[in-house]
Structure 1
């Protein structure tokens, strides 16, 4: 095991150089990304969606669980990375055309990969299933990768052409516009019934606008009434931009300071203030992931600051590299990991075994038959994670890094 970890670190240092706070790549960020995507794969691949331990399931609507922090952590890391790798060159010179062209290309690829996952499925147990009608013509337009793509492009454009305080002004303006629309803009359903300030799923202004733009056929919860709903819809992407900007601002801060214990304490303190503020204001504006409310932005960005401060302290200051080495394998190849998990997870549902599929056969015969329902579901997630790790380790060892 020690030899395995040492080899991971040796290869990482060969690819990226010795981790320093002025380098374009921080090991702490790769580990943070690796921890985040590990959590995402773990919660997205249970043995049964009916049996998930509380921390591994999303909050039903208002409120939050640890699982609800995963997606905003990704956007926070995207913001940090795009500033550190694209916009914080040593001499301050930026090839704006090159950066924007690269951003447009990356946006297109990420969005396309999201659409691919949306159509990559065949229901083998339904004789009436039509891939063309049920999947392609009813494709869900938005999703995790699609939102990341849109947020990434908007944020890199903002950071390219706006100074810090202008960025803050834009973030405040987006938040105010979001709140005004959510609470004060009237809207009507197909029957002409007027609504304003509704916060129940399927009744919000977010659902109304997304239904108009995307149409219910192409939304995650297309059958809801009076409006369809999508947790990664168009309008709730506005506050998600602010989440990504928070990562940019932390990267700016880190670029202008030394990574000391005092810095980590300040970053952690900022995170605590944001979490406390989000909790305090949640009685006025609920913490809600599908709506991506401003309090949710504060809460998730606060926890992101706290986690990053701990990782920077342990990895960059105290040099506990070996303890976190396995997460480098995931963090340095996160897009490949996400796509691998998405494709394999679907294939396990598409390969027929008897009257079921490969996932159902394995889960029911080797786990659920012998273990508690919740434990069996969790063990399946761990098995899936182990297979994913071995696949990503193979890519890592062969220096195959999928950069979008």
Structure 2
């Protein structure tokens, strides 16, 4: 559904391109951080040549982290912020919780349906359908975190639930025997790539789907980075974003209980605590994006909090976006952030369309030449492929995906799935 007007407290709405003045109930820094995150997500997903990628622009092979590994958790963190801000404003306008619960379910189902449609179009090969993925994980985390936040919006309760999720996941991955392989740290290494409980469970689920529905596959054949069990701590990431939103709300409204400077300082300190806690837990439960380990949740949420604190201090406190230079530096991220899901879906559509165009000839590696390959090898890498040409293609790809968002921004259309 597309809307032509801006709802004051809705975190998916956009501010005016001319004034950049946010209504008092909005947190403009959240929009900017969302825009930066979705643009970076597209950038790292669409390198021109997968053999030539800067280390920080690709995922860690297994344990450890890169800047790319912080993108998805930051987006889920912002989803948690949006849940609180949106739910609070709708309750203030008189919506009842049952109505909001139904809205949450409908929106989650829609996001999941869009993900399946993207995967199926244009050949509708159900036997190759990947049920897991980025959008399905967003849908599931949004659904569960949204329903939890309808039940309680007390920071203490949300933090307690998050702690239970993270500790439970650690206990499961550390102590529960993996059928056919044994107990982690005793019979098999902790977080062995294929012999861990999450991978075993996902193989079993996809095997069941293949035998009954004749569909389903795992992204990495034997495992999937967006599998079912690792969604448990991912929900924790979303709830930590919700806690951050509760703190942000304390500095807003007609009777704020803390100043904006206190709010920014609190976010920053909490971020440092999250980073430190994640690095400490990493000694016993390694930071691992593909398994979304509990240490990874704390570390990534800490980084997101530091980023949010910086944006909040720069934009909501010091109004950087109202300066001449700030206007142009923040505008692209506001455009991306105003329709983040549209940008992500557009990136998937453009990528798939280019891959479906088959041209005569092959790449220098002997692979069939697609539309995307032709653009890369004839325009960006005509004199050879390097890390620079690969990232240049990715930046151009981001700019292409920016165009639909810019058109929607100009028309003040903000799409809500």
Cα distance in 1, alignment partners of residues 303 and 289 from structure 2: 14
* 1:22-58 residue CA offsets vs partner (Å, 9 max, x unmatched): 51x3211111100000000101111011111111100
The equivalent of 2:11 in structure 1 is none
SS in 1 for 2:16: helix
The equivalent of 1:364 in structure 2 is 377
* 1:102-141 residue CA offsets vs partner (Å, 9 max, x unmatched): 10110011001111222236xxxxxxxxx45xx4112111
2:347 is equivalent to residue 347 of structure 1: no
Any conservation in 1 of the 2:83–2:149 contact (CA below 8 Å)? no
Cα distance in 2, alignment partners of residues 32 and 246 from structure 1: 16
- C-alpha deviation, 1:259, in angstroms: 5.0
Cα distance in 1, alignment partners of residues 275 and 142 from structure 2: 24
Any conservation in 2 of the 1:58–1:68 contact (CA below 8 Å)? yes
Any conservation in 1 of the 2:47–2:390 contact (CA below 8 Å)? yes
CA 1:102/1:14 → structure 2, altered by over 3 Å: closer, same or farther? farther
- Give the 5 Å matches for 1:53-202: 53-88=54-89, 91=92, 94-120=95-121, 131=123, 135-162=125-152, 164=154, 165-189=156-180, 193-197=181-185, 198-202=190-194
- Give the 5 Å matches for 1:253-272: 253-257=247-251, 258=258, 260-272=260-272
CA 1:53/1:222 → structure 2, altered by over 3 Å: closer, same or farther? closer
Cα distance in 2, alignment partners of residues 40 and 18 from structure 1: 27
Give TM-score, length-normalised by structure 1: 0.87
The equivalent of 1:376 in structure 2 is 389
- C-alpha deviation, 1:289, in angstroms: 0.5
Cα distance in 2, alignment partners of residues 268 and 166 from structure 1: 21
2:330 is equivalent to residue 324 of structure 1: yes
Cα distance in 2, alignment partners of residues 381 and 296 from structure 1: 26
Cα distance in 2, alignment partners of residues 340 and 290 from structure 1: 24
Cα distance in 1, alignment partners of residues 19 and 133 from structure 2: 31
2:406 corresponds, among 375, 393, 399, to 393
CA 1:90/1:403 → structure 2, altered by over 3 Å: closer, same or farther? closer
- Equivalent residues, number: 374
The equivalent of 1:220 in structure 2 is 218
- C-alpha deviation, 1:88, in angstroms: 4.7
Cα distance in 2, alignment partners of residues 47 and 115 from structure 1: 25
Give TM-score, length-normalised by structure 2: 0.84
Cα distance in 2, alignment partners of residues 384 and 222 from structure 1: 25
CA 1:338/1:222 → structure 2, altered by over 3 Å: closer, same or farther? closer
- C-alpha deviation, 1:162, in angstroms: 3.0
* 1:203-222 residue CA offsets vs partner (Å, 9 max, x unmatched): 11111122222338623346
* 1:345-387 residue CA offsets vs partner (Å, 9 max, x unmatched): 1101111222321111111112212255211111111111111
Q: CA RMSD in A?
A: 2.2
- C-alpha deviation, 1:158, in angstroms: 0.9
Any conservation in 2 of the 1:73–1:300 contact (CA below 8 Å)? yes
SS in 2 for 1:146: helix
SS in 1 for 2:102: helix
